[in-house]
Structure 1
Amino acid sequence: MEVTMAEGGGERNVDVAALFDMLRQCKDSAEEIVAKMLAIKTEAEPKSQLRELVTQILLNFVTLRQVNRSILLEEDGVKAETEHAKVPVELTRLQLHSLMYEKNHYAKAIKACKEFRTKYPGIELVPEEEFIRNAPEDIKSSILSTDRTHDLMLKRLNYELNQRKELCKLREKLELQKKALQETIANRKKFLSSLPSQLKALKKASLPVQHQLGVLQTKKLMQHQLAELLPPPLYVIYSQLFAQKEAFGENIELDITGNVKEAQAFTRQLANKDAAMSTNLVNSKLEDDAPDDSDDGQRRRKRPKKAPSKENLDQSEIYQNHPLKVILHINDDEASDMNSAKLITLKFEFLIKLNIVCVGVEDSEEVPQNNILCNLFPDDTGLELPQQAAKLRIGTSLSFDESTTSRPYKWAQHLAGIDFLPEVSPMVSAAEESNSETTKHASASLGLSLYRQQNRVQTVVQRIRTRKKALLALV
């Protein structure tokens, strides 16, 4: 290894490895000489040999000191070179530390800039295209900054500020409208809460006027509500009579009387019964469709339920009435006084078990009141049941109970919409009376015309009114 050294302003090359080899050789030579000197003293050889050895060892010591001095000088030169080389390294290290400090400073500044909260944090500005399209010219034409991007941002912020000011004004206006509407709603709620009592008082106060003018609107509404609880036959009678009164101004009055609670209970019972019957019908159909597990593989057949015997039906159950009744007041169309205008009052009842409608005179001051309704149409005394099914239900007694005030007249069944077939064909009965073909056709035509007349409310009311007038004339 050669090292260039500067000493006294000059440079020299020193082989450090050669110096260490020379030092090692001098040390080995000194050890050999010392070993020889010990051997001479031990063997008692002549001392003349010791002088030469001492001279050689001294020369070795001088060489050692010279080599040692050269090594020390070399070490000092290396240290000086090291110190000289450390100066640029330290400068570079200081520059590196300065750069790292500046880097950290800039990083902190960038982070602080990123985390810096401006005056408009989280503001959702309108898109730039919409701003250019919709912003007013005074905002777009103003110059707020030399930086184009910053200037555009400031303009967009001004546009957003103007929009928000307008929205604040609109909000205040809407708040005032909302407050006014809330006050109006509160006043109307207060009025609506007191409206039922006012309507009740108005309704009570208007009753005398309604009676005076003959327009009983309250009673009419109540009657219509009660009509919904009527059985279908009585409802048909009520609707036809009411339609006749409204359409042609017939001088009649209608009322629905009876126990409303019992009628409601009967309606609910009938609805539950219909629902149960439909459920049982579906279940029985499913059971009939299911195959039987018997050996022959045939399907199971249910026996029909036995109808209740005629002996089990009580007389009161047979003539059981529906809780509601339809009252018909027939007035005199020629009378001027309202008190003397009422001629007769009829009561329509529905027998639930027999499915027929019975009619009777309500105000029976005289005994033969049923004579007015008896034979109102030919062969209609009201003592014979109009339906074959009703006769079968009653059993041995084929005639209606004469002790009751109401009778099942045929014209009442026609008015109620209850259609039934006669027991004997009209053509056969006409043939028994006369053998001529002309008589049979005339009888059939007469029966058809009579049937059509019986379906008309006007014909029935007119006949009852005429018969009542005739009876009053006789009395």
Structure 2
Amino acid sequence: MAKDTMAASQKPPLELLRESKSSIEEIIARMLSIKKQGTPKSENRELLTQMFLNFINLRQANRAILIEEERVKTETESPIDLTALQLHNLMYEKSHYLKATTSSREFKSKYPNIDLISEQDFFTDAPQPIKSQSLSNHDLMLKRLNFELHQRKEVCKLRAELEQRKKSLLEANAERSKFLSTLPLLLKSLKKASLPVQSQLCLPSPKKLRYHDLAELLPPPLYVVYSKFMAQKEAFEERIDVEVSGSLKDAQSYAKQQAESSDDDNGKRQRKRPRTESSDEAVHPLKLVLHVYEDETPDPKSRKLVMLKFEYLLKLNVVCVGIEESQDGLEKNILCNLFPDDAGLEPPHQSTKLILGDDHAFDESTTSRPYKWAQHLAGIEVLPEMSPFVTGKDTQNSDTASVSDQHNVQTVLRRIRSQKKGGM
């Protein structure tokens, strides 16, 4: 162990930092593997010892990096001061030259309103009849004025050509604008004419494609619910419709914020980004709407029974479900009675209770509640508060069967239909 510490101290700090980080990640992965596989935990003590040694190496590498940084800073202070002094002198000279240039430009000549080109450009660009190699100062000024007149005449000709071209382009744009104004009607008629072909080829509708695009921005729990219901509909032709509603702009903005936050975490920045305060019940911009029809088998005449709305509370990591456009208390009881002891009034798991408090309960008047069956459906594991060894074997088996039913989309839909028809 001492040899490892001595060997680590002889390595470069950055290499030691990378090796310690990789070793810690491997140890944590090994500990998680032991925990998941249920193997004996006798290796944990040795793994913890190795992890502490790696933490010591991290502190050593960090200290070495800070010492090196302080040394480099000390060595560069003197050149920086010298460079700053040279910069100050250069800025002073620049100010002096600018003042001299300004005073020269403000000098009033005989032709104050004409900005002539320089003499070098004049001898380079002027035609041979205008310029001459041996000129006095007065003749040179006259020649430069003649060249200025020549240039302005050429610019006037170019302007006339451009004006004519502009006129022709405006006429062409007017014709195209007229065509574009009639294009929506043409596209609408084309879309209407293509519907039979789309139906025969079993192509997905534009509305369905738009929902798939929106589904990519759903939070993971709602996406799990969306994928389960879509798989149930496509595999068994279940009489349901799944829609994604909400603000696309807000969802894209939230996804961008999450990506930037993830980039900051992966970059291991020392300066932390300021966290924005949000309420405990902040809701994701996108929601999932489920339309449940009366018959399980495909039937065009089947009427709509109920419409459910799935929401995701960001900070609480909770999925809430409610009856869309509910006006009476009868429809609320449909979801409350789907599974025993799941009225949706208490936080569904321990982390939510820690955030809200043990005595927190959701309002009975709200139609959207965090039912446990909704968490199971969304892939959010809800661990029992009591150990299976305390509750007993029979209770454990019944709870396991109940949780299995709550994972089953077909069972949830069947119970919703049964509760709705029973309440009617």
- Please give the TM-score of this superposition, normalised by the length of structure 2: 0.51
- The aligned counterpart of 1:364 is 326
Which residue of the other structure, out of 253, 256, 263, is the alignment partner of 1:265? 253
- The aligned counterpart of 2:400 is 448
Which residue of the other structure, out of 265, 282, 286, is the alignment partner of 1:277? 265
Instruction: Provide closer, same or farther for how the CA distance between residues 422 and 219 of structure 1 changes in structure 2, counting only shifts above 3 A.
Output: same
* Larger-Rg structure: 1
1:401 is displaced (CA, Å) by 3.3
- The aligned counterpart of 2:218 is 230
Q: Aligned with 1:321: secondary structure?
A: coil
- The aligned counterpart of 2:236 is 248
Per-residue CA deviation, residues 289-319 of structure 1 (Å, 9 max, x unaligned), is xxxxxxxxxxxxxxxx9x99xxx977xx111
8 Å contact from structure 2 (residues 241, 292) kept in 1: yes
Distance 1:379 1:231 in 2: 27
Matching residue's letter, 1:236: V
Distance 1:329 1:382 in 2: 21
Matched, 1:395 2:357: yes
1:337 is displaced (CA, Å) by 7.6
Matching residue's letter, 1:427: F
- The aligned counterpart of 2:227 is 239
Instruction: Provide closer, same or farther for how the CA distance between residues 283 and 260 of structure 1 changes in structure 2, counting only shifts above 3 A.
Output: closer
Instruction: Provide closer, same or farther for how the CA distance between residues 470 and 426 of structure 1 changes in structure 2, counting only shifts above 3 A.
Output: same
Q: Which runs of 5+ in 1 are unaligned?
A: 1-193, 288-304, 431-439
- The aligned counterpart of 1:382 is 344
Instruction: Provide closer, same or farther for how the CA distance between residues 343 and 215 of structure 1 changes in structure 2, counting only shifts above 3 A.
Output: farther
8 Å contact from structure 1 (residues 252, 328) kept in 2: yes
1:447 is displaced (CA, Å) by 1.1
1:450 is displaced (CA, Å) by 1.3
Aligned length, in residue pairs: 241
Matched, 1:417 2:379: yes
1:210 is displaced (CA, Å) by 7.2
- The aligned counterpart of 2:280 is 318
- The aligned counterpart of 1:130 is none
Instruction: Provide closer, same or farther for how the CA distance between residues 318 and 417 of structure 1 changes in structure 2, counting only shifts above 3 A.
Output: same
Q: Aligned with 2:379: secondary structure?
A: coil
Matched, 1:349 2:311: yes
Per-residue CA deviation, residues 8-32 of structure 1 (Å, 9 max, x unaligned), is xxxxxxxxxxxxxxxxxxxxxxxxx
Q: Aligned with 1:318: secondary structure?
A: coil
Instruction: Provide closer, same or farther for how the CA distance between residues 338 and 389 of structure 1 changes in structure 2, counting only shifts above 3 A.
Output: same
Matching residue's letter, 1:346: L
Matching residue's letter, 1:398: H
1:398 is displaced (CA, Å) by 2.5
Matching residue's letter, 2:248: V
- The aligned counterpart of 1:462 is 414
1:366 is displaced (CA, Å) by 2.3
Distance 2:282 2:332 in 1: 21
Distance 1:326 1:423 in 2: 29
Q: Aligned with 1:421: secondary structure?
A: coil
Q: Aligned with 1:235: secondary structure?
A: helix
1:273 is displaced (CA, Å) by 0.9
Distance 1:372 1:449 in 2: 21
Which residue of the other structure, out of 244, 269, 292, is the alignment partner of 1:330? 292
Q: Aligned with 2:341: secondary structure?
A: coil
8 Å contact from structure 1 (residues 380, 410) kept in 2: yes
Q: Aligned with 2:254: secondary structure?
A: helix
Q: Aligned with 2:305: secondary structure?
A: strand
Distance 1:441 1:235 in 2: 34
8 Å contact from structure 2 (residues 224, 378) kept in 1: yes
Per-residue CA deviation, residues 333-378 of structure 1 (Å, 9 max, x unaligned), is 1799856610000000000110100000003132332100003111
Distance 2:236 2:386 in 1: 37
Distance 2:364 2:194 in 1: 45
Per-residue CA deviation, residues 79-136 of structure 1 (Å, 9 max, x unaligned), is xxxxxxxxxxxxxxxxxxxxxxxxxxxxxxxxxxxxxxxxxxxxxxxxxxxxxxxxxx
Instruction: Provide closer, same or farther for how the CA distance between residues 468 and 367 of structure 1 changes in structure 2, counting only shifts above 3 A.
Output: same
1:454 is displaced (CA, Å) by 1.0
Q: Aligned with 2:331: secondary structure?
A: helix
Distance 1:250 1:340 in 2: 12
Instruction: Provide closer, same or farther for how the CA distance between residues 389 and 453 of structure 1 changes in structure 2, counting only shifts above 3 A.
Output: same
Distance 2:291 2:316 in 1: 26
Instruction: Provide closer, same or farther for how the CA distance between residues 376 and 385 of structure 1 changes in structure 2, counting only shifts above 3 A.
Output: same
- The aligned counterpart of 2:167 is none
1:399 is displaced (CA, Å) by 1.6
Distance 1:341 1:271 in 2: 42
Per-residue CA deviation, residues 241-271 of structure 1 (Å, 9 max, x unaligned), is 0000000111111111111110110110111
Distance 1:278 1:401 in 2: 40
- Please give the TM-score of this superposition, normalised by the length of structure 1: 0.46
Matching residue's letter, 1:458: Q
1:394 is displaced (CA, Å) by 1.3
Q: Which runs of 5+ in 2 are unaligned?
A: 1-179
Output the aligned Cα RMSD.
Answer: 3.3
Matching residue's letter, 1:319: E
Matching residue's letter, 2:423: L
Q: Aligned with 2:251: secondary structure?
A: helix
